[in-house]
Amino acid sequence: MEIQSHFVDAAGIRTHYLEAGDGPVLVLVHGGGAGADAWGNWKDTFAHFAPHFRVIAPDMIGFGKTDKPSPESYVYDQPGRNAHLAGFLDALELRGVDIVGNSMGGATAIGVALDRPELLDRIVLMGSAGLPIPPKPSPQLLHNLHYDFTRDGMRRVIGGLTAPGFEPSDEMVEYRFQLLENPKARAALEAINGETRKGTLNYDEDRLATIEHPVLVVNGKEDGVSILPRAHRFLELLPNSWGYIVPHCGHWAMIEKTEDFCGAVNRFLGVDASA
């Protein structure tokens, strides 16, 4: 399986994305953790999704190889990410796509569903942001919000995003650490974290209840960042939603429990496991 690397202009932002497979389009949107990008977050899932879908995984604005405008001229808030993702789908002339969003990526999928509902079909929210539950950042999230740009700090970030007992490889730590050696990436992350502290990832519950798309809400049972009560509230608010809770798993189901997570997503999207 070949995973191709491409760039496209999305709403004026030079945007990097990975692509593999053929068939209906499945878009994977990574979260906002320190050192996040499409490759680091989704690489293990391509083998499960690409046999059934045309898989497209962009680097969000400020992350990976996508442009990182100066915070002096660009506000790294949730409306900006929503507009960027919608612009990305427009640039590729995509409509009615299935989408998986993790954490901040989930909040971005929600924003597109609200602002441009015709762009999406089925939605998977995995450890999604979008609701103020818990009401203030958890100790696990604070490792990310206070990342100090050291390798030890990156290990603390990963520890906060995973279930107890998860041991990141040195390669994982180094990959994520190196992505933030770029001064523009550091400035973007600090601006993103500043906006996150303001609560700009959250949506009004009445607006969330208007989303009519089919939604699968996935959450790690031991996720300390997007805790189970948030997943339960999404299920209460979203009228056409199903839930899938992954045991012994933190915020990164796609990494910690890859086969379990991908199997649940494939079933939700109608893939026949026996075929």
CA dihedral sign of residues 210, 215, 219, 225: negative
Examine the residue annotation and report whether 251 is marked as an active-site residue of this protein: yes
Q: Are 230 and 141 in contact (CB under 8 A)?
A: no
Integer Cα distance of 246 and 241 in angstroms: 16
The DSSP annotation for 128-173 comes to ---S--SSS--HHHHHHHT--SSHHHHHHHHHHHS-TT----HHHH
Q: Which residue has the tokens 């391509």?
A: 46
Neighbours of 238 (CB within 10 A): 23
Residue in 16, 52, 213, 251 annotated catalytic: 251
Neighbours of 18 (CB within 10 A): 22
Residue in 103, 128, 226, 241 annotated catalytic: 103
Residue 192 dihedral angles phi and psi, to the nearest 5°: -60, -45
Residue 49 in 3-state DSSP?
Answer: helix
Residue among 194, 184, 200, 179 nearest 81 (CA)? 200
Examine the residue annotation and report whether 232 is marked as an active-site residue of this protein: no
Q: Are 58 and 19 in contact (CB under 8 A)?
A: no
CA angle, 84 then 140 then 179, to 5°: 50
Residue in 213, 223, 226, 241 annotated catalytic: 223
Q: Are 200 and 78 in contact (CB under 8 A)?
A: yes
Examine the residue annotation and report whether 223 is marked as an active-site residue of this protein: yes
Question: Catalytic residue positions?
Answer: 103, 223, 251
